[in-house]
Amino acid sequence: MSTILDLLDRPAIDDLARYNFAYLDEQTKRMIRRAILKAIAVPGYQVPFGSREMPMPYGWGTGGVQVTASILGADDVLKVIDQGADDTTNAVSIRKFFQHVAGVKTTTSTEEATVIQTRHRIPERALKAGQTIVFQVPIPEPLRFLEPRETETRAMHALEEYGLMHVKLYEDIARHGHIATTYAYPVKVAGRYVMDPSPTPKFDNPKMHMNPALQLYGAGREARIYAIPPYTEVVSLDFEDHPFAVNRFDRPCALCGAENVYLDEVVTDDAGGRMFVCSDTDNCEDRRAEGYVGEQTEAAESGLSGPREARS
Amino acid sequence: MSLSNVGSEQGSPLSGGFVDAVPEAQRAFHALMNALAQPGRCQPLKSLLAPEPLPGLLGTIGCTLLDHQTSVFLDEALQGGGQVGEWLIFQTGTVIADQRKDAGFAFIVDGERMRLADYGPGDQAYPDRSATLCVNVPSFAEGPRLSLEGPGIKGKMIIAPAGLPADFIDQWADNHALFPRGVDLFLTCEGEGVMGLPRSINIVQEG
């Protein structure tokens, strides 16, 4: 008995029913492309766009996927990461999506990629000129949790009225003794717009400043696109007596020994065992291939406690 | 009869345009995006067959960015004679704007007489609702030397496009002072490509 899948495999049907390159129709791409151009011209300003339904739920990166689909060409090499990892569910499904609808080459190597879609980290390896990094953004409006009305936040951006954001950071200090915001840490772009860098850990905020790569941000549900051009000033908001500082880790990566990288905590058993490993899996694998070792490399490779096995 | 044979004589609204729209539009957009992200740096752009007097590179920008949701103003030199308007309407479905201030795009070949302030700078709350001016110039190297600074530029960038107004620096200073409002420019030059001047950058006379 023939099934639907058999029918789909038949070349005649395949010729009939095909998606446009990169899924979106050309008219949608043009609309998104025009929004991207305005976003680049006004760094940090959120350009409204006609966000489309995508074949994945909101929250799975529909904004980033639409931006990527609109910029992607047949000769691009795509890398997709979820936090720092190439091999978690969201990254794998989006990578497969573009392999299917665009047939582009994909990679896990930061170095090799021309387009990197991310939720939400910026890779440890410095990005190069000519690369584009596309962020998946859930809530693009940095003032949204302070002022729920869109009409009001739009006026605040228009008037460059960002006092409320400083009050929020001050209240952090009053309550906790320090600025306790650790992700989606607000930044000021090119001295004008306050922008939400998506829920990127604040550890990555300094990488946005004067980055040689083009940074594009897409929010599907909220229908906004914004951008940071290469070599643009990006300042994390702070106070003179409470300057911005990134989180430090008190130990290196347990697998590759890297210091000054962002680490994930991985629970290894039900007796309180845990390890801290690189969030950026590509960076960690590169370092281990170069021979760097961490304190639990041996145990992980012998399979006694293996987050790597679980991931692959 | 294949569609590419229809009206293939030069000057018909049906001739020219993209042959393979999907990859060609992507490559052209990639050039435009990089042009705006790296102001003053010339990006390669393929010229399309377009009816006189529309420069082929403006034809490429038209086919890449225009559709029924956009409007485009044609400067006097493009309005007079020829079938530029008909060609753009047929190829893209765009609306030809009567007034400069109403247009989302402007195609300009007489750059020396353009006035940036004639075009819509957008709204303070919606600065994206501003005009994009696409200006074809005779040369990227023979004009006065201009120094660019701002987002997208590492340090300074020197350009020397010819065919801009004599008081371009002053006009640009007014445009830049409106930030976040203001118009954005694409300069095209046959044989060279496209260069972007977003409103965010500062331009001064070099030397």
DSSP letters for A35-47: HHHHHHHSTT--E
Query: What ipTM describes this predicted complex?
Result: 0.95
Residue B200: its chain A contacts at CB < 8 A?
41-43, 190, 229
Per-residue pLDDT tens digits for B55-70? 999 999 999 999 999 9
Give the chain A residue whose CA is nearest to the CA of B179. Answer: A42
Q: In the predicted model, is pLDDT for residue A162 greater than 90?
A: yes
Per residue in A29-70, pLDDT tens? Answer: 999 999 999 999 999 999 999 999 999 999 999 999 999 999
Whether the per-residue pLDDT at A2 is higher than 80: the answer is no
Q: Is B33 close to A214, i.e. CB distance below 8 A?
A: yes
> Nearest residue of B to residue A232 by CA position?
B151
Return the number of other C-beta atoms located less than 10 Å from residue A68's C-beta: 29
Domain at B21-205: CATH code: 3.40.50.11310
pLDDT above 70 coverage of chain B, percent? 94
List Cβ neighbours of A63 (8 Å cut-off, separation of 6 or more). A51, A136, A137, A217, A218, A219, A220, A221, A222, A223, A224, A225
Tens digit of pLDDT for each residue in A196-206? 998 999 999 99
A207-229 residue pLDDT tens: 999 999 999 999 999 999 999 99
Contact A40 B150 (CB under 8 A): no
- The minimum CA-CA distance between A23 and chain B, rounded to whole Å, is 12
Residue B9's pLDDT is what?
Answer: 52
* Distance from C-alpha of A288 to C-alpha of A281, rounded to nearest angstrom: 10
Mean pLDDT across B117-122 = 98
Task: Inform me whether the C-beta atom of residue A47 falls under 8 Å from chain B C-beta atoms.
Answer: yes
Q: Is A217 exposed, middle or buried (0-12, 13-18, 19+ CB in 10 A)?
A: buried
The residue from A64, A278, A291, A306 that is catalytic is A278
Listed by start position, the domains of chain B span 21-205
Coil/strand/helix, residue A285? helix
Exposure string over B62-88, b if 16+ CB within 10 A, otherwise e: bbbbbbeebbbbbbebbeeebbbbebb
* pLDDT per position as a tens digit, A223-247: 999 999 999 999 999 999 999 999 8
Q: 């495999």: which residue's tokens?
A: A9
pTM of the model: 0.93
Digit-coded pLDDT (tens) for B124-140? 999 999 999 999 999 99
Question: How many angstroms away from the CA of B148 is the closest CA of chain A?
Answer: 13
Residues 52-111 of A with CB under 8 A from B: 70-74
